[in-house]
Structure 1
Amino acid sequence: MVVNMKDTAMMKEAESPLRQAMNVAASTDDYDPLTGIMLMPQSSGPQNDTSCPGAYSHTPGMQVQRATTPSRSSFLGPIDHHHEDNDDADEEVGVPSPRVLSSSTHNDGPADAQPRAVNERSSDPEDESQDESPRVGEENGLAVAQLVDEISPHKLPRAQTFDGERAAAKRRDQKTRQIRTIFLLGMIILVVIVIILLAILIPRTGPTKTATIIVPPPAPITAAPTSAQGFLLSLLDKGTLRAMEDTNSPQFKAHEWLLEDSDQLPFCSKERLIQKFALATLYFATNGDHWEENTHWLNHSIHECEWFQKPNFAVKDIVAQFVLGYLDGFLEPPPSTPCDNNGLFQHLWLDVNTLVGSLPTEVYMLTSLKTLSLDRNQLEGTISSHIGRMTNLQGLSLSGMLQTGTIPTEIGLLTNLNILFLDTNQLNGQVPTELWKLTNLVDLALSANYDLEGTLPSEISAISKLRWFLSEQSEFTGTIPSELGNLPLLEVLVLAESRHTGVIPSELGKLTALSVLTFQDNSLEGSLPTELGLLTALTVLRGNNNMLSGPLCSELGLLKDLEQSLSFHFNMLSGQIPTELGLFQRLPELVLHNNQFSGQIPSEFGELVSLQLLSLANNSLSGLVPEEFAYLQPHAHTIRLDGNPLLSGHLPADLCALNGTCSSDAWNPCIPPFGFVFDCTEKLCGCGCICEDLFNGP
């Protein structure tokens, strides 16, 4: 077979670079010659990425389906009966070699359709009978190889060049590179701008700020690690840092003490560092070396949760002396440990421990505290607004100290407070309205702040859990709000020694849980509401030193549980003394002097077997002194009948034996005169008084 040289050249020309690339790639199953896409193995699920153990690469909807790719031979046709050693012979014969005539290329035909070679003859008779049928590929518009002898060489379609497409592709690549370059430059510029803005807007914090504040002493700070010192300083606020400029300040001393244990600082949490610093500041600010008890305090080898604390939340006997016994049943035993499982303080009690000085604001850095009690210490200063930080507080007792100034409005932030004791201080000014919004309060004591001003608002009824309310010895003015009757849990209501005016609201009769009711030493007027007789749980009822008028209602005889005091002296009460008062079997004190009572003394008073003090002086009582008074002698230390000139008769001899020995307590202070006190008149005799006109007749 002779191959025509011209045809060979034309075939090489048809083997253009694009065709050559396609032919080479056709031998690779992972390359699609029609799309130019390298095909990934088809997967039905996530596949392990061996370059990132445990990671999976799976993008739903983005799988590339593998296509059936024609091999190189499917493009060129099968070549049989030709070998390299026959090439020269073929040239001499002059038979043109087979070649593919290129036309427009399509990729929608069957993948297994292959054009038949020109010189190939089928041995199948069916193939010979189908010579006139359309050749394979014609229906798809593909060029079909034909025999040379059937068509003139000059009519053969020439292979088209792809120079234009190559140039267009090159231009597209250049444009893509330009776009990528511009995008990269834009991102770099954007990052630079963001960094500059952050550097300008974010304020600088940390050790740099405090470098000019701390004046290092010769020893321990200079020896401390800079990182530990810097971290500690970064936890402190500006006020503390300013205070540390003074090397004699408690704050500076606390900082110095902490750095003595600098090797352990990196192992402390931020909360523990703040806690240790706050406790050390409290110690140095309140003369800790001279506390009544300071065992283990500032000992680096002992956890601060094991430093000494008072065993009580507040000392009951001391409270009884200052708050007149109202709180004898108050304050349950404290938890067994002051700290939680993380070593953070929840309870701090240092009552009656001779703390002297000013209460440092750093105490309010102990934000994990649930209770804080520093009662009956000589701590001066004001209650800082920083108290608003202690939002976990449930109990705060700062009674019996020397706190001055106003109650900060930030007290309203302590919404978890159950107990708030600020009594027996020197607080002044208006009570902030925020205080009345602490709806979780159970016990509130503001007593013995003589310059504390304000009125009791109707909003107090919103504190529906309120059990004890003490506001005596203050400058509270205005009427007693009737809304107090809407506090069903109220047990102690102390409104004494203030400047309340108006009448006693009858709504108080709804407080059936009330055990203590005192409103003495005010400017209340009007009559006693009979609804007071509904308060059958009362143990104390005091309304003396007012301007009350009218009768002493007999309904008071229903208060059979009175066991402390019933006193209405120094009023303008009138009428007869109700005989029902003789039912108080446990009453130790009945005080009705300096009123306008008239009539006879009820003989039922002889049934008051627990009575220690009976004062009916300075009234308009008349008639005989009941003989039953003799039954009072075993327990009574004082009976006063003086100031009643209309009394008559002979005094029971047993009363003359009263020795006047008074045992004072919180409820019943001993106020002289003691013993049996009466006016010796012509009509009243005995116990040394001689009434000759009555007993020594002619």
Structure 2
Amino acid sequence: MEKASFFQVLAFLLTSLHLLATCSLAMNISTDQSSLLSLRAHITSDPNHILSTNWSSSISVCNWIGITCGSRHQRVIALTISVSTNSVVKPPEFSHLRRLTDIDLSYNNFTGEIPIGIATLQNLKRFALGYNNKLNGSNVLSIFNTSTLKILDLREAGVTGDLPSDLCRCLRRLQTLTLGYNKLSGEIPRNISECSKLQVLMLFENNFVGTIPSELGTIPDKIGHVHNLKELFIEENKLTGSIPLTLFNISSLEVLYMNDNMLEGLLPRQIGNLTMLAWLTLYNNKLTGVIPDEVGNLQDLSAISLAFNDFSGSIPIVIFNISSLVIIALLGNHISGNLPSTIGKPHFSLPNVEGIFLGGNNINGVIPSSISNLTKLTALELYSNEFMVLFLNLLEI
């Protein structure tokens, strides 16, 4: 009898716990639903009626368009809205969606301030609010203190102010930081290296300024410690000084955009260390000296653009032996010497090249007839050089 009583009590306890868990789950999903309905109420334009018809209390929140729920807790874990709205995006209950791991509100016309509550979501891994240029993002980067965050995309989101010096201390797991098309200013902080897991860094088209101190760098010396970095976009700023040698320690780099700045000095021989590089874009700077032969080490290179600098000397013959090249753009420099007679010949071929842009230099000699062997070539610019009149022979090929 005592044993039966024990099992009856145990069964009662388990049933009670189940009921409590069920009630708790219902309350939690109800909280998520209320928060999302509050968000919907702040959206003043829904031209395709996606939210007004689908986001309804008569439909399970986990079946709403743009909503993903976790299989274990049945809580909202992902939110995606892209309805080209014209809205205020600061509903007060937004931060109550505690289980959110993924928020994508890109490509809308949201207005107002980026809500501070988003930065308190301790499970958040991705936050994308790109291409909402009517937002007020004054010093918004200082609010992020979510150690789980891996992707932060605020392209063209009205972000202003400085890049916080403690950003990487707060976001140590950050893998992608995308801040292009904003109005950030000041220098790129030297401790960007503390984002040791960073793979993609996009800071293009901002107002970053300053010179490069030997121990720091407007393109910081310590950026060379970000050993996982694959893509670096810092073009169209106001960066000055030389390119730090430590940058060429990042052997993982595949894309390097530093065009449209005021960088000066040499292109270091250490460029040859970046053997995984596919895109090298340095046009519209003040770089000088010769193009180093070590560029020939970049056998995965698809595009090299060193146009509108002050490079001199001849084009390294090794460039014409990188079979992966699609674009060669060296126009607007002070390059001299001849084009190699081997260009377009077997073993010195450019089988994938589609554009060669060498105009506005001091290249002389004849244009080799073998250039006609470049079967994919669709654009060839050789204007304002010193080629011999034998160029006419090429037109007859």
Amino acid at match of 1:309: G
Work out whether 1:464 is the aligned partner of 2:196.
yes
Cα distance in 2, alignment partners of residues 554 and 267 from structure 1 = 67
Deviations 1:51-70 (A, max 9, x none): xxx9xxxxxxxxxxxxxxxx
Work out whether 1:627 is the aligned partner of 2:376.
no
Partners of 2:89 and 2:115 within 8 A in 1? no
Alpha-carbon distance, 1:517 to partner:
0.8
Structure 1 counterpart of 2:307, from 545, 561, 569: 569
DSSP-derived class of the 2:75 partner: coil
Structure 2 counterpart of 1:343, from 74, 94, 97: 74
Deviations 1:547-603 (A, max 9, x none): 00000001001101012x100000000001110001121211100000000111123
Work out whether 1:358 is the aligned partner of 2:99.
no
Partner of 1:593: 331
Alpha-carbon distance, 1:269 to partner:
4.3
Work out whether 1:429 is the aligned partner of 2:167.
no
Partner of 1:647: 387
Partners of 2:90 and 2:113 within 8 A in 1? no
- Structure 1 residues 48-127: aligned runs within 5 Å: none
Structure 1 moving runs of 4+ over 6 Å = none
Question: Cα gap change, 1:354/1:627 in structure 2, threshold over 3 Å: closer, same or farther?
Answer: same
Alpha-carbon distance, 1:458 to partner:
1.6
Question: Cα gap change, 1:496/1:602 in structure 2, threshold over 3 Å: closer, same or farther?
Answer: same
Cα distance in 2, alignment partners of residues 614 and 530 from structure 1 = 23
Work out whether 1:275 is the aligned partner of 2:13.
no
Amino acid at match of 1:282: L
Partner of 2:13: none
Partners of 1:445 and 1:471 within 8 A in 2? yes
DSSP-derived class of the 1:508 partner: helix
Question: Cα gap change, 1:652/1:586 in structure 2, threshold over 3 Å: closer, same or farther?
Answer: farther
More helix per residue: 1
Work out whether 1:512 is the aligned partner of 2:254.
no
Partner of 2:108: 377
Partner of 2:379: 638
Give ranges in structure 2 of 5+ residues lacking alignment: 1-8, 10-22, 211-217
Structure 2 counterpart of 1:522, from 233, 236, 261: 261
Partners of 1:394 and 1:416 within 8 A in 2? yes
Partner of 1:605: 343
Cα distance in 1, alignment partners of residues 46 and 220 from structure 2 = 49
Cα distance in 2, alignment partners of residues 308 and 467 from structure 1 = 31
Cα distance in 2, alignment partners of residues 407 and 361 from structure 1 = 20
Amino acid at match of 1:431: L
Partners of 2:46 and 2:52 within 8 A in 1? no
Partners of 1:296 and 1:302 within 8 A in 2? no
Alpha-carbon distance, 1:295 to partner:
8.4
DSSP-derived class of the 1:300 partner: coil
Structure 1 vs Structure 2: percent identity of aligned residues?
Answer: 28
Question: Cα gap change, 1:374/1:550 in structure 2, threshold over 3 Å: closer, same or farther?
Answer: same
Partner of 1:300: 57
Alpha-carbon distance, 1:626 to partner:
1.1
Question: Cα gap change, 1:340/1:296 in structure 2, threshold over 3 Å: closer, same or farther?
Answer: farther
Cα distance in 2, alignment partners of residues 474 and 289 from structure 1 = 32
Alpha-carbon distance, 1:460 to partner:
1.0
Cα distance in 2, alignment partners of residues 605 and 397 from structure 1 = 46
DSSP-derived class of the 1:574 partner: strand
Work out whether 1:554 is the aligned partner of 2:311.
no
Cα distance in 2, alignment partners of residues 338 and 366 from structure 1 = 11
More strand per residue: 2
Deviations 1:72-119 (A, max 9, x none): xxxxxxxxxxxxxxxxxxxxxxxxxxxxxxxxxxxxxxxxxxxxxxxx
Question: Cα gap change, 1:289/1:457 in structure 2, threshold over 3 Å: closer, same or farther?
Answer: closer
Alpha-carbon distance, 1:499 to partner:
1.1
Question: Cα gap change, 1:431/1:302 in structure 2, threshold over 3 Å: closer, same or farther?
Answer: same
Cα distance in 2, alignment partners of residues 616 and 292 from structure 1 = 53
Cα distance in 1, alignment partners of residues 240 and 197 from structure 2 = 26
TM-score (norm 2): 0.85
* Aligned-pair Cα RMSD in Å: 2.2
Amino acid at match of 1:629: I
Question: Cα gap change, 1:431/1:520 in structure 2, threshold over 3 Å: closer, same or farther?
Answer: same
Cα distance in 2, alignment partners of residues 604 and 428 from structure 1 = 52
Amino acid at match of 1:556: V
- Structure 1 residues 250-269: aligned runs within 5 Å: 269=26
Cα distance in 1, alignment partners of residues 392 and 369 from structure 2 = 6
Partners of 1:544 and 1:567 within 8 A in 2? yes
Partners of 1:541 and 1:567 within 8 A in 2? yes
Deviations 1:401-453 (A, max 9, x none): 1222324355332111111001122221222334232111011111111x211
Partner of 2:186: 454
Amino acid at match of 2:30: L
Bigger RCO (CA 8 Å, 6+ sep)? 2
Cα distance in 1, alignment partners of residues 25 and 58 from structure 2 = 14
Structure 2 counterpart of 1:399, from 127, 130, 137: 130
Deviations 1:337-363 (A, max 9, x none): 53343321111112x432321212333
Work out whether 1:387 is the aligned partner of 2:118.
yes
Question: Cα gap change, 1:291/1:381 in structure 2, threshold over 3 Å: closer, same or farther?
Answer: farther
Alpha-carbon distance, 1:292 to partner:
6.5
Partner of 1:542: 281
Alpha-carbon distance, 1:637 to partner:
1.7
Partners of 1:562 and 1:584 within 8 A in 2? yes
DSSP-derived class of the 1:433 partner: coil
Cα distance in 2, alignment partners of residues 521 and 339 from structure 1 = 45
Larger Rg: 1
Amino acid at match of 1:584: I
Work out whether 1:532 is the aligned partner of 2:271.
yes
DSSP-derived class of the 2:232 partner: strand
Q: Which moved more, 1:282-291 or 1:490-499?
A: 282-291
Cα distance in 2, alignment partners of residues 268 and 483 from structure 1 = 47
Partners of 2:46 and 2:84 within 8 A in 1? no
DSSP-derived class of the 1:428 partner: strand
Partners of 1:475 and 1:499 within 8 A in 2? yes
Deviations 1:152-211 (A, max 9, x none): xxxxxxxxxxxxxxxxxxxxxxxxxxxxxxxxxxxxxxxxxxxxxxxxxxxxxxxxxxxx
Alpha-carbon distance, 1:615 to partner:
0.7
Work out whether 1:614 is the aligned partner of 2:356.
yes
